[in-house]
Structure 1
């Protein structure tokens, strides 16, 4: 079942509640009552229905969008202990920092734009009629050191595809973190009905190209001089994998 298939609310107030939670990341019931023009007597009922239908969940007394993403996984490699789990709203600052660090090191144009968007919106997960957005993070001692991100427009003709970005900060490369993140992201994509995952990187980012090729991604096309960094034109390498 695709994510969009679940967005059946049955009541306009219920839709308003969901959309407010979805656009603000995490909110309290009191904030909903104070902000929305929803019948207070029906608010608890609508929240209960949204929870029952697995559209929202409760964490630390706040309501947030619920996207089935699996549990936390633990890994150890050469003395480095790390976990991979679905991202939470409180990861936003650390996640933006990790993405920007990797983007600066490797000229990761798409990753940099992802960081800009979530930093501006201050919301990690999206799940509405226009867009689905999911993040998994790798953490060492509760600090975000890597991520995998999937974004998909809710358009019928593109509904089988999703864009993916993945990265690990330099200090923690070489411990299998990137591979585990990539596997987790693709596993989630397949479970949610996506058939093709794609990514684009500058041709100068040879590490990213080799990493994806080692995981069975293929180069579909190259757009000549697509990026301009300062005074230098760089090709864009368009890559994809079918699930």
Structure 2
């Protein structure tokens, strides 16, 4: 689905939140590799589950076509610095919900980009009959957990020792959901 773009400003940084277009595929493929290597907060290490340009083009085309999907990008001076995606389900029993994921380049943390991507996604969900948004987050990402809670998400469960990080330690995954009746 496509939404109207939104101009944002925080701490002197101007950026735009808009729907992804197929012309963004190369930037997204490159960006994902960088972001995955910047922090242990992501599910992937850099290079894992690589999505090439045609792969991103297919995802963007599908997300544009499907009313239950939303792919957003955050753009600073013509460069994509973050993105989020809501992916709905085709099975009838799960058609009321979408899975949410977000990532932002570390240099752009603290400017509200993740928060605005989340806000636009939840607003879209509320307006389009998505009654539940689900996500997962590593237990050590307190800032993200607080952000999600601020936007109505609740902790629904914990997957114990679910992730193995580069430090050789296991970490729990927090499962969160936001339900609109």
TM-score of the superposed pair, with normalisation by structure 2? 0.82
Runs of 4+ displaced beyond 6 Å: 110-115
Q: Which residue does the alignment assign to 1:180? A: 116
Aligned partners of 1:116, 1:133: CA distance in 2, in Å?
21
Query: How far does residue 127 in structure 1 lie from its aligned partner after superposition?
Result: 5.3
* Contact 2:69/2:98 (<8 A) preserved: no
1:124 aligns with 2:59: yes
* Contact 2:25/2:54 (<8 A) preserved: no
Aligned partners of 1:115, 1:207: CA distance in 2, in Å?
25
* Contact 2:40/2:165 (<8 A) preserved: no
Aligned partners of 1:135, 1:112: CA distance in 2, in Å?
21
The total of aligned residue pairs comes to 175
1:242 aligns with 2:148: no
Q: Which residue does the alignment assign to 2:31? A: 98
Matches within 5 A, 1:91-170: 91-104=24-37, 105-109=39-43, 116-117=50-51, 121-122=55-56, 123-125=58-60, 126=62, 133-170=69-106
Structure 2 unaligned segments of length 5 or more: list them. none
Matches within 5 A, 1:1-243: 67=1, 69-104=2-37, 105-109=39-43, 116-117=50-51, 121-122=55-56, 123-125=58-60, 126=62, 133-229=69-165, 231-243=168-180
Query: How far does residue 157 in structure 1 lie from its aligned partner after superposition?
Result: 0.3
TM-score of the superposed pair, with normalisation by structure 1? 0.63
Aligned partners of 1:118, 1:131: CA distance in 2, in Å?
24
- Quick check: which has more Rg, 1 or 2? 1
- Bigger helix share: 1
Deviations 1:4-36 (A, max 9, x none): xxxxxxxxxxxxxxxxxxxxxxxxxxxxxxxxx
Query: How far does residue 83 in structure 1 lie from its aligned partner after superposition?
Result: 0.7
Aligned partners of 2:80, 2:49: CA distance in 1, in Å?
14
Aligned partners of 1:205, 1:172: CA distance in 2, in Å?
16
- What's the C-alpha RMSD, in Å, of the aligned pairs? 2.9
Aligned partners of 2:41, 2:111: CA distance in 1, in Å?
22
Query: How far does residue 114 in structure 1 lie from its aligned partner after superposition?
Result: 10
